[in-house]
Amino acid sequence: MCASNPVVLRTKVLKWLGIGGSSWYYRAVVAEQRRRPGPKRTPLQERLIAEVRATAERYPMWGYKRLAVVCRRDGIQVSNKQVYRILRELGLLQKPKSRIAELYQAARLFDLLPQRPNDLWQADVTYIHIPGHGWWYAVTVIDCFSRYLLGLHLTSSYAAAGVNKAWWRHDRHG
């Protein structure tokens, strides 16, 4: 650009004003003129909606894909998309379960929680350094409900026999 030709590019002006180029060319569309791309949706039959709703009420924890399979096995001519659309309109869609590993594992561990004593036991091995004697292993058996120590065995070898001895000690004295 030189002083004799003061032509300024539109993109530079828009950039200087902080306006995006696509905003300059945007034309608002009236709501009545908007339409989804592709063919118009076919209206769903009331009978089909009722049958899918009945199936969803029979199996409330199932997702739309599994419900579509059950509907087809029952002789209802329906696609996965139709079942999804019906469940979405009725507000019956299931929320997807979390895929985060920590949440999934916590949910699975909740199923393992003991309800009474002797429901779930846990064995543990702890390394203990005893000066002059080297490394020894404390093998413990714990009741997860009451948190009581059920068995304890101190051994110099890291073998399954130590767990068995801790178990037998509990079994004899417990």
Which tens digit of pLDDT belongs to each residue from 82-109? 999 999 999 998 777 767 777 777 777 7
pLDDT of residue 49: 95
pLDDT at 52: 95
Contact 93, 83 (CB under 8 A): no
Q: How far apart are CA 99 and CA 96, in angstroms?
A: 9
The pLDDT value recorded for residue 54 is 95
**Read out DSSP for 35-94?**
--SSSPPPPPPHHHHHHHHHHHHHSTT--HHHHHHHHHHTT----HHHHHHHHHHHT-PP
Residue 64: the pLDDT is 93
For residue 51, what pLDDT is reported?
95
pLDDT computed for residue 171 by the predictor = 59
Low-confidence ranges of the chain (pLDDT < 70): 1-7, 98, 162-163, 166, 169-174
CB atoms closer than 10 angstroms to residue 53: 14
Q: Which of 44, 38, 41 is nearest to 71 (CA)?
A: 44
Q: What is the pLDDT of residue 73?
A: 95
pTM of the model: 0.41
Strands 121-130 and 149-155: unpaired
